Amino acid sequence: MGAWWQRFEQLLKRVLKPGASSETVGLLASAVTIGVAAGLAAVALDAVINLMGAWTEALRASRGGLTAALLVLLVPALGGLLVAPIMHYFASEARGSGVPHVMFAVSNLGGRLPKRLAFWRPLATMLSVGSGGSLGTEGPVVQMSAAISSVFSDVRKLSDERRRSLVAVAAAGGVAATFNAPIAGVLFALEVILGRFEGRYFATVVVGAVSATAVSRSLLGDAPAFAVPSNYVLGSPAELPVYAVLGLLSAFVAVGFMRTIVTTENAFDRLRLPWWSRPALGGLAVGALALVAPEVLGRGYDTTGAVLQSEPYGWGFLLTLLVLKTLATGISIGSYGSGGIFAPALLVGATAGALFGTWMDAIVPALGVPTGAYALVGMAAVFAGVTRAAMSSIVMIFELSGSYDMILPLLLAAVVATLVSDLLHPDSYYRLVLLRRGLSLMRLRETDLFQTVRVREAMDKNVPTLNADDTLRELTDALHASHHHGFVVARADDPTRMAGIVTLSDLERAQRNGLPTSTPIRELCHREVQTAHPDDTASEVLERMDRHGIGRMPVVEPADPERAIGMVRQSDLARAYAAAINRQRSSDQVQQRLRLRELTGQEIVEVRVPADSPYVGVPLKDAGLPLDSIVVSVRRGGRTIFPHGSTVLQAGDSVIANVAPGSSKTFAQELRTPPTDS
């Protein structure tokens, strides 16, 4: 990369003014590179999914009758069956939207995402959405592009600040290229991914969005994702209260959309299905809904466009589509499908707006507003209520419509929907996903220390293991001898593979049921094992333990889920929490010292007092320390003492002092020098 990258930077230097710094040139070069990559990723994913959709549609049309119905029912299930191994073995992060993971990476992980997502995320999304899952590609494009930017940052050895900036560039490029809406892409990156509007990010994000859009337009043309008639206008200020009511109703639709997703995910959790069957069953359920309304399949761009064009759909069809598309999206995400909520939320919003318009046309026909205009505003309002990104939603729909005359209804309805949604449900969909996984964003509240600890730091690498052929008697002896409360059960034919887990509770239940002591433990162990990955956070694992009512989990690598490499218990996580507190305390002290040095212009030094120091047992006022030093604090036994003249130093104290520049070594030597014999 080095040679061509230098030539690229030199080219940019010639284009920019001569005084441009190397830092500026490097930032812009990186933004262009990631923007182009995001544009190519969006175009490629869109093309493949369009081909898959066209192929399956042609296949159904060529068969007809019962065969076509079976294809509608079974193709989404087949897609789920194919995507399941990807989720289970290679990239569990590829399920769902992907945007929450990017937000978390930017806020908490310095912009670092797993490199494997650059490959597995698009493959999983192709299978899920291409086979008919009721999901979008926009979130996956954002996550895939962010993973590419993370790989790029590793190669370039960039700082965390530059990494975060490039992830925002990737997100802006992905959204901009998908919808041909560069301004909306910029706002989405700043409003949702970064969570703040700052000038230092703005320039690179804009460059990335422009680069991605240029790639998309050069390959696909400059038409927007949805063709919206340009004659939609605000006929009279008297229409604004009507649009405000639409914003209010859209908030209820948005919250219902989110709650449907949560409810279906909880329902799938309660079923405790084998890992391979969950996405397949979800696909089968979506296929069953498609037998009633085929429009629920896939991203639904064609249907969204038709609704925006004021196609004369009856209110019965619109209501059915609204309910079934919401349910199909909840099933697709709840069954671990790989796709986002952008496209489904836009279709649900457009349908809700058109349904409202149909009713308004019947109640107040004198208004004469096309149903497509209501659909346009409903799309912005519902999307704003789901994401709580009002500005991104307004600008995106404005860019799609190209009509400034609709800006007032868009502004009013989106803001009303956002405010009412906040009252009904305080969290956006993206934050809700994070909270359900025990995660939160550091930028939104004080650091949750459990999120700074990874399972690999807390787990016990010595995995307590028994063989599936071992008996209840051997289990009892092992429990008494080891004081463990649970064992991994290894397969009899391959001791390196995990057959299940057995705990003290299982033994007690077997004894209550009167099972003989010769019973093999394979007959009572749990075969569906909840596992943790080494890179999971402590908070995420604790949340899963609480949800399933368990006290320990085997730790496995994502690519090899049947081989336990460790065991993590709640007590291990508690010790890890204590270690995180100590790390945080040390970090706070470093920051305090740096701030003190900036305020005083002097150096901060910390010295541990040895047992043979001449100052042990001496009050500070009598110690005779150098005149150009001030003892700021003393750490003793895990607590901090703010000293005064009568404070007596003890062996093992850590003395933190403010000393004159260049005097830190002298001060340390003074405290540590043992007394000489006279």
**DSSP per residue, 371-433:** HHHHHHHHHHHHHHHHH--HHHHHHHHHHHH--GGGHHHHHHHHHHHHHHHHHH-SS-HHHHH
- The string of pLDDT tens digits covering residues 438-452 is 777 765 444 455 666
Q: What secondary structure letter does DSSP report for 493?
A: S
Q: Distance (Å, rounded) from C-alpha 89 to C-alpha 85?
A: 6
Q: What secondary structure letter does DSSP report for 313?
A: -
- The string of pLDDT tens digits covering residues 36-68 is 999 999 999 999 998 998 888 887 777 777 888
pLDDT greater than 50 at residue 609:
yes
Confidence of residue 665 (pLDDT cuts 50, 70, 90): confident
Give 611 or 81, the one with higher predicted confidence: 81
**Which amino acid is located at 264 in the chain?**
T
| Exposed/middle/buried for residue 470 (C-beta within 10 Å: 0-12, 13-18, 19+) | buried
Domains plus CATH for the chain? 2-220 (1.10.3080.10), 237-436 (1.10.3080.10), 451-576 (3.10.580.10), 602-672 (3.30.70.1450)
- The string of pLDDT tens digits covering residues 162-189 is 888 899 999 999 999 988 888 999 999 9
- The string of pLDDT tens digits covering residues 201-211 is 788 889 889 99
Rg (CA), the chain: 30
Confidence of residue 588 (pLDDT cuts 50, 70, 90): low
Q: Distance (Å, rounded) from C-alpha 356 to C-alpha 254?
A: 15
**Which amino acid is located at 155 in the chain?**
V
- Looking at residue 10, its pLDDT comes to 60
Residues in CB range of 637: below 8 A, 6 or more apart: none
Give 598 or 650, the one with higher predicted confidence: 650
Tokens read off for 533: 């990955």
- Give me the chain's average pLDDT, please: 83
Query: Max Cα separation, the chain?
Result: 109
pLDDT greater than 80 at residue 526:
yes
Q: pTM for the complete prediction?
A: 0.68
Q: What secondary structure letter does DSSP report for 110?
A: T
- Looking at residue 446, its pLDDT comes to 42
H or E element that contains 604: strand 603-608
Q: Distance (Å, rounded) from C-alpha 173 to C-alpha 193?
A: 12
481 strand-pairing partners: none
Cα dihedral sign for 64, 69, 75, 78? negative
- Looking at residue 385, its pLDDT comes to 94
pLDDT greater than 60 at residue 394:
yes
467 strand-pairing partners: 490
Tokens read off for 424: 């009904």
Tokens read off for 457: 């730091």
- Looking at residue 668, its pLDDT comes to 78
Tokens read off for 236: 């009279």
pLDDT greater than 50 at residue 598:
no
- The string of pLDDT tens digits covering residues 300-358 is 888 998 999 888 888 999 999 999 999 999 999 999 999 999 899 999 999 999 999 99
- Looking at residue 445, its pLDDT comes to 41
Instruction: Please check whether residue 113 is in contact with residue 163, taking contact to mean a CB–CB distance below 8 angstroms.
Output: no
- Looking at residue 212, its pLDDT comes to 92
- The string of pLDDT tens digits covering residues 342-366 is 899 999 999 999 999 999 988 888 8
- The string of pLDDT tens digits covering residues 198-235 is 666 788 889 889 999 999 999 988 777 777 776 788 88
- The string of pLDDT tens digits covering residues 84-142 is 999 888 888 888 888 988 988 888 777 888 888 999 999 999 999 999 999 999 989 99
Per DSSP, the three-state class of 651 is coil
Beta strand 552-557 with 560-569: parallel, antiparallel or unpaired? antiparallel
Length of the chain: 678
- Looking at residue 429, its pLDDT comes to 92
Tokens 């043979």 found at: 612
CA angle 372, 374, 377 (to 5 degrees): 110
Tokens 């041909």 found at: 180
Nearest to 176 by CA among 141, 125, 136, 148: 141
Instruction: Please check whether residue 402 is in contact with residue 182, taking contact to mean a CB–CB distance below 8 angstroms.
Output: no
Q: Distance (Å, rounded) from C-alpha 26 to C-alpha 23?
A: 5
Mean per-residue pLDDT, 451-480: 84
Q: Distance (Å, rounded) from C-alpha 41 to C-alpha 174?
A: 8
- Looking at residue 95, its pLDDT comes to 87
Instruction: Please check whether residue 540 is in contact with residue 439, taking contact to mean a CB–CB distance below 8 angstroms.
Output: yes
Q: Distance (Å, rounded) from C-alpha 565 to C-alpha 557?
A: 8
460 strand-pairing partners: 567
